[in-house]
C-alpha cells in the first residue's frame, strides 16, 4: 500500500487522491473518482481534507476544481506541523509530573511508590490479570526482562482489549516478531517516533508508570482513580492519535474472497468472468474491486497487483 505520508497524518486513500491530482494541471472530484473507482462524494471529501492539509488548493470559479501545491513546500509545512504536535506531547510530560507531585501531597492513598525490578514486574502482571475490559500501553526500552508478555496472551483469550503504542526502538530484533504475534492474536498496535514514556493502564482505573529508566534504580508509581489517572489516560489517547499503525496490524489482512478476487484479476480474467466464478453480481464485483483499490492506494489493476504482491496478499 502506498502510505508514504501516513506519518504526516495523511491516510492511504487521501494520498492516492493527492497523487492523482499531482498528475494533472487541475482536477475535479469527478476526475479523481473516475481514476480511483470511487464515488464523487468520497473523492470530494478527500480533496477537502487535502486542502485542509495544504497539499492542494481550490481554483476560483463556480465548479470545484483543484490544483496541487508544490510538494517541496506543502509536505515540508505538513511535517513541521506534525513535529510541533509531537513537541506539545513531550511538553505534556511536565504537566503530568506536576500533577504527580500534587497528587502525592494531597492524595497519598491514591499513589503508591514501587521500588525494584521484581516489584515492578509483579505489578505489571497483576495489572493485566485484574483487567476486565481494556489495557492501554506505551512502550519503549529499556526492559527489566525480555519484552515477551505471556500474561497478555491469556488476557486476550478472555476478551480483554489491548492497545499499544511503541517507540521505533522497541521493534528491533526478536521484539518485533513477538509484538507481531500479539497483533495477530488481537492487540491493536501503533508506532510513535520520539515516545519517551512507558506506561500501562487497566480499565482506566489503575496505572503503572516507571519513574526511572536506570536498571540499577528501578522505581515506578501505581496510580489509582484520581485527576492524575485521568491525565494519564488523556495522554495515552493523544499518543494513540499521533501514532501510525504497525505494519501487519488489524486492517492489514484480507479475507479469502478478496484473495480469490486478486488471484483471478492477476490471471487476466475479465470482470464478468470473475463475477461468475465467485458467484457475485456485477455490482458486488465493482464494489469489491473499488474497496481493494482503496485499501491498496492503487489507481488501476496493474498497480493493485503489484501492491498486493508487496503486502503478501498474492
Question: Mean per-residue pLDDT for 80-106?
Answer: 70
Q: Which CATH number is 256-310's, of 3.30.1490.20, 1.10.10.10, 3.10.50.40, 3.40.50.10800?
A: 1.10.10.10
CATH 3.30.870.10 assigned to 82-245? yes
* 22's grid cell: 499531482
Question: Mean per-residue pLDDT for 246-252?
Answer: 56
Please determine, for residue 28, whether its predicted confidence score (pLDDT) is greater than 80: yes
Q: Which CATH number is 6-69's, of 1.10.10.10, 1.10.3720.10, 3.30.565.10, 1.10.760.10?
A: 1.10.10.10
Among 207-211, 261-265, 279-283, the least confident range? 261-265
Please determine, for residue 59, whether its predicted confidence score (pLDDT) is greater than 90: no
pLDDT, position 139 = 93
pLDDT, position 232 = 94
pLDDT classification of 311: cutoffs 50, 70, 90: low
Among 102-116, 122-136, 157-171, the least confident range? 102-116
pLDDT classification of 1: cutoffs 50, 70, 90: very low
> 225 preceded by cis ω (within 30°)?
no
pLDDT, position 42 = 93
Question: Mean per-residue pLDDT for 218-232?
Answer: 92
pLDDT, position 248 = 55
For the entire predicted model, the pTM comes to: 0.49
Tell me how far apart the alpha carbons of residues 289 and 262 are, in angstroms, rounded to a whole number. 9
Average pLDDT of the residues of the chain: 82
Most confident of 64-73, 102-111, 285-294: 64-73
Residue 47 or residue 173, greater confidence:
47
**What are the extents of the domains in the chain?**
6-69, 82-245, 256-310
Question: Mean per-residue pLDDT for 2-30?
Answer: 83
pLDDT, position 310 = 60
Most confident of 40-44, 71-75, 285-289: 40-44
Residue corresponding to grid cell 503530568: 96
Please determine, for residue 9, whether its predicted confidence score (pLDDT) is greater than 90: no
pLDDT, position 203 = 95
Please determine, for residue 217, whether its predicted confidence score (pLDDT) is greater than 70: yes
Give the residues across from 220 on adjacent strands. Answer: 114, 210
Asked if 82-245 and 256-310 have one fold, the answer is: no
For residue 69, the Cα-to-chain-centroid distance in whole angstroms is 27
Among 6-20, 210-224, 288-302, the least confident range? 288-302
Please determine, for residue 92, whether its predicted confidence score (pLDDT) is greater than 70: yes
Please determine, for residue 137, whether its predicted confidence score (pLDDT) is greater than 90: yes
Please determine, for residue 254, whether its predicted confidence score (pLDDT) is greater than 80: no
Amino acid at each position: 500500500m502506498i502510505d508514504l505520508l501516513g506519518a504526516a497524518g495523511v491516510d492511504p486513500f487521501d494520498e492516492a487522491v493527492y497523487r492523482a491530482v499531482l498528475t494533472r494541471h487541475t482536477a475535479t472530484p469527478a476526475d479523481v473518482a473516475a481514476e480511483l473507482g470511487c464515488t464523487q462524494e468520497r473523492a470530494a471529501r478527500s480533496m477537502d481534507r487535502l486542502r485542509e492539509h495544504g497539499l492542494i488548493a481550490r481554483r476560483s470559479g463556480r465548479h470545484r476544481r483543484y490544483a496541487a501545491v508544490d510538494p517541496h513546500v506543502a509536505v515540508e509545512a505538513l511535517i513541521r506541523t506534525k513535529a510541533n504536535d509531537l513537541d506539545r506531547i513531550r511538553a505534556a510530560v511536565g504537566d503530568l509530573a506536576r500533577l504527580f507531585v500534587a497528587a502525592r501531597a494531597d492524595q497519598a492513598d491514591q499513589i503508591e511508590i514501587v521500588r525494584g525490578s521484581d516489584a515492578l514486574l509483579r505489578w505489571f502482571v497483576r495489572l493485566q490479570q485484574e483487567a476486565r475490559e481494556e489495557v492501554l500501553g506505551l512502550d519503549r526500552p529499556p526492559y527489566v526482562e525480555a519484552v515477551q508478555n505471556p500474561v497478555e496472551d491469556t488476557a486476550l483469550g478472555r476478551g480483554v482489549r489491548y492497545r499499544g503504542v511503541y517507540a521505533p526502538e522497541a521493534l528491533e530484533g526478536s521484539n518485533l516478531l513477538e509484538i507481531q504475534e500479539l497483533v495477530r492474536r488481537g492487540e491493536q498496535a501503533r508506532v510513535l517516533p520520539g515516545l519517551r514514556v512507558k506506561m500501562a493502564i487497566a480499565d482506566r482505573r489503575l496505572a503503572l508508570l516507571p519513574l526511572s529508566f536506570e536498571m540499577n534504580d528501578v522505581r515506578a508509581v501505581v496510580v489509582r482513580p484520581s485527576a492524575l489517572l485521568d491525565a494519564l489516560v488523556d495522554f495515552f489517547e493523544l499518543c494513540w492519535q499521533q501514532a501510525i499503525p504497525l505494519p501487519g496490524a488489524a486492517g492489514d489482512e484480507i479475507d479469502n474472497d478478496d484473495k480469490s478476487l486478486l488471484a483471478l484479476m492477476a490471471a487476466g480474467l475479465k470482470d464478468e468472468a470473475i463475477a461468475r466464478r465467485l458467484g457475485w453480481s456485477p455490482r458486488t464485483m465493482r464494489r469489491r474491486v473499488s474497496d481493494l483499490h482503496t485499501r491498496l492506494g492503487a489507481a488501476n489493476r496493474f498497480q493493485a497487483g503489484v501492491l498486493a504482491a508487496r503486502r503478501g496478499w498474492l
